[in-house]
Chain A
Amino acid sequence: QVQLKESGPGLVKPSETLSLTCTVSGGSSISSAYYWGWIRQPPGKGLECIGSIYFSGSTFYNPSLKSRVTISIDMSKNQFSLKLSSVTAADTAVYYCARSEAAGSPYFGSWGHGMLVTVAS
């Protein structure tokens, strides 16, 4: 059973860069044919997909965040990462990492527990 766990600072100052890492375990290799994604949820609001990366390194980004987002993959550590630059209070949210099937109509079948990141000075 694949397990995903988010890690990183829970508090980021405005204008700085939010950096999170998702560690994949439980027998699933990040080099397998899946998409690895980041989804966030502002307090009291719905789910927003930030972007995803395929095991080959190709990426999809939310157009509204594209200029500030980088998702990368580290196969040696079985991890993938999110960087979101120039953050504001509007980026305060619970950030989830998740694994998506790649074939057919992809969906996120496995999720991390989520991590609250607060943007404040």
Chain B
Amino acid sequence: SYVLTQPPSVSVAPGQTARITCGGNNFGSKSVHWYQQKPGQAPVLVVYDDNDRPSGIPERFSGSNSGNTATLTISRVEAGDEADYYCQVWDSSSDLPWVFGGGTKLTVL
């Protein structure tokens, strides 16, 4: 089955830029989606199709996908951005095509 690899944790100071990576094979052929999950809450889609934002998501959230790595970039990080972030792809060759990464805990110092 397809595997997505994320770092367990990323730390950043307020006002700085956070970059959360997601690795997988042949990423260039897949679109990557990103979810934010705050404690006790359901996940929220923050980026879809590599670099599109749903309505209501700040422009500070952006994504990129190149080679075997996708990156979620959060500019001008705020305390409220502290959360777990999950990447997800659709892998049509898998029995269950929605594949999630293991998640990254973003800590705002």
Q: CB within 8 Å of B: which residues of A?
A: 37, 46-49, 51-52, 60-63, 66, 96, 100, 104-109, 111-114
Residue numbers in A under 8 Å from B101 (CB-CB): 46
Q: Can you list 5 A-B contacts (CB < 8 A)? A: A49-B96, A62-B95, A63-B95, A100-B98, A107-B88
Q: Is the CB of A60 within 8 A of B103?
A: no
Partner of A108, one of B30, B43, B95, B102: B43
Determine how close the nearest CB of chain A comes to the CB of B30; give it in whole angstroms. Answer: 7
Whether A113 touches B30, Cβ cut-off 8 Å, given contacts A47-B100, A49-B100, A107-B90, is no
Q: Is the CB of B31 within 8 A of A63?
A: no
Partner of B89, one of A47, A51, A52, A105: A105
Determine how close the nearest CB of chain A comes to the CB of B27; give it in whole angstroms. Answer: 12
Which of B12-20, B44-52, B66-74 has 4 or more CB atoms under 8 Å from chain A?
B44-52
Q: Is the CB of B96 within 8 A of A62?
A: yes
Give B1-45 as 1s and 0s: 1 = Cβ < 8 Å from A's Cβ atoms.
100000000000000000000000000001101010100011111
Q: Is B80 an interface residue (CB 8 A)?
A: no
Report the separation of the CA atoms of residues A112 and B42 in the bound assembly, to the nearest whole angstrom: 7
Q: Is the CB of A107 within 8 A of B45?
A: yes
Whether A105 touches B30, Cβ cut-off 8 Å, given contacts A46-B100, A48-B100, is yes
Residue numbers in B under 8 Å from A63 (CB-CB): 1, 95-96
- Name, among A47, A49, A104, the residue most crowded by chain B CB atoms within 10 Å (CB to CB): A47
Report the separation of the CA atoms of residues A66 and B94 in the bound assembly, to the nearest whole angstrom: 13
Q: Is the CB of B95 within 8 A of A61?
A: yes
Q: Is B58 an interface residue (CB 8 A)?
A: no
Q: Is the CB of B31 within 8 A of A104?
A: yes
